[in-house]
Structure 1
Amino acid sequence: MKAAIIIGSAREDGNTEAQCRAVMDALEENGIEVDVIRPAKMDIHHCTGCNRCIDTDSCYMQDDMQVIYDAFDGSDVFILATPVYFSGPSSILKQVIDRFQCRWESVDEPYSDKYVALLCNGGSRNPRFENVISIVRAFAFGTRCVWAGETLVEGTDNDESKCFKDSYKFGVHLAEMLKDLE
């Protein structure tokens, strides 16, 4: 089994990275291979809405997004991680999601057995997680994947250590879901 984690934060060693490390530790301890991808360090262009992908099922732009498409195709669980910025996902993660327009499937297509999950954190005591969840769930359903859930950590401005415990538990939960597929 294989997982891909897309880190939608440019801040290395921040809260999103801590969440990802915790989930990665839990998955690897359960025998799941994990690839970590940091789009902030990649050359990824914005979707132009050209609709060329409608006829080809692939994006015409030649950039580093192919690495993410390959990770998506090769994983059993695709994990999107982001801090909450202005009540939504980071622009880094949103750019990746938008580039999946070429993978947007017809509602008539059957669901795959691939899972999509969300790791999200917000600095305040009441971040607007619901907007992020809505966008990432739309990604999951648009790519005909099964929603695996999310782990949400609030109040990280005051306590960055909060990211590890719940995220690790969520990683164990994901590993159990994947073992059920075997």
Structure 2
Amino acid sequence: MTKITAFMGSPRLGGNSAILLDALLSGAEENGASVTRINLAAINITHCIECGECDTTGKCVLQDDMTEIYDQLAESDCVVVASPIFFYNITSRTQALVERSQACWTGKYFLKRGPLGGKRRRGIFLSLGATRGKMLFDGVLRVIRYFFDAVDADFEGALLYRGIESKGAIKEHPTALDEARTVGRLLAENGDLGSVNFLHRIK
């Protein structure tokens, strides 16, 4: 059974990012995946304080909900991150998750440990924003790319949607929810996402 850990980064309950993520997870669960959905706004994750302790231990000294998330990530076959765009960036809650993956990064690159949990995993990013700017997602894609690298996830693609602002507007998008369900199904089936033409990929 495919184990998926999904992070909801929006502080707005029932908003567009949540609706999009739920569609993906529904597609996954309907096809046999085990899903853990973590609402980052509802838990306590402190931002990295740059103390440097993880440089020598590969472990974070901060004691909060991130401690359990490290274990959850290690057990996962797939990691999904959903965040709306706030001022051309991910939300602060999502940023805290990314910053705290520094302990994984140092374990990998400084201490030369093997993959987290002894295996690699798949990574998918979901995002949307109100504006339609050409560079709307450029910055966040690079941030998420390096988060996935830190947790030994292959960044297989992103579902990105522009012009989504009012609460629930994603439901009116002609393809978004079906696309999310398709990705969820393929993750559950360990299917090939390489031929999925609506996924955005970053080199």
Identify if the C-alpha distance between structure 1 residues 173 and 130 changes in structure 2 by more than 3 Å, giving closer, same or farther.
Answer: farther
What SS is found at the alignment partner of 1:68?
A: helix
1:37-76 matches, within 5 Å, as: 37-76=38-77
SS across alignment from 2:87: coil
1:89 corresponds in structure 2 to 90
Cα RMSD of the aligned pairs, angstroms, is 1.9
Q: Contact conserved, 2:73 with 2:151, CA < 8 A, in 1?
A: no
Count, aligned residues: 179
Equivalent-residue separation in structure 2 for 1:24 and 1:142 (angstroms): 23
- Paired residue type of 1:62: Q
Shift of 1:109: 6.1
Deviation at 1:137, TM superposition (A): 0.6
Indicate the residue corresponding to 2:197 in structure 1. Answer: none
**CA drift at 1:144:** 2.9
Specify the alignment match of 2:5 in structure 1: 4
What SS does the corresponding residue of 2:99 show, helix, strand or coil?
helix
Match of 1:125 in 2: 132
Q: Which residue number in structure 1 is paired with residue 187 of structure 2? A: 174
Aligned partner letter, 1:103: C
User: Who is 1:27 aligned against?
Assistant: 28
What residue in structure 1 maps to residue 155 of structure 2? 147
Query: Residue in 1 aligned with 2:200?
Result: none
Q: Work out the percentage of aligned pairs sharing the same amino acid.
A: 29
Structure-2-length-normalised TM-score: 0.81
Task: Return 59-68 or 123-132, whichever deviates more.
Answer: 123-132
Q: Deviations over 1:1-49 (max 9, x none)?
A: 1000000111010011001100100100111110000111111111001
Consecutive unaligned residues of structure 1, counting only runs of 5 or more, are: none
Equivalent runs, 1:96-111 vs 2, <5 Å? 96-104=97-105, 105-106=108-109
- Aligned in 2, Cα 1:151/1:173: closer, same or farther, shift over 3 Å? farther
CA distance in 2, matches of 1:124, 1:169: 25
- Amino acid of the residue matched to residue 147 of structure 2? F
**Gap runs ≥5 in structure 2:** 193-203
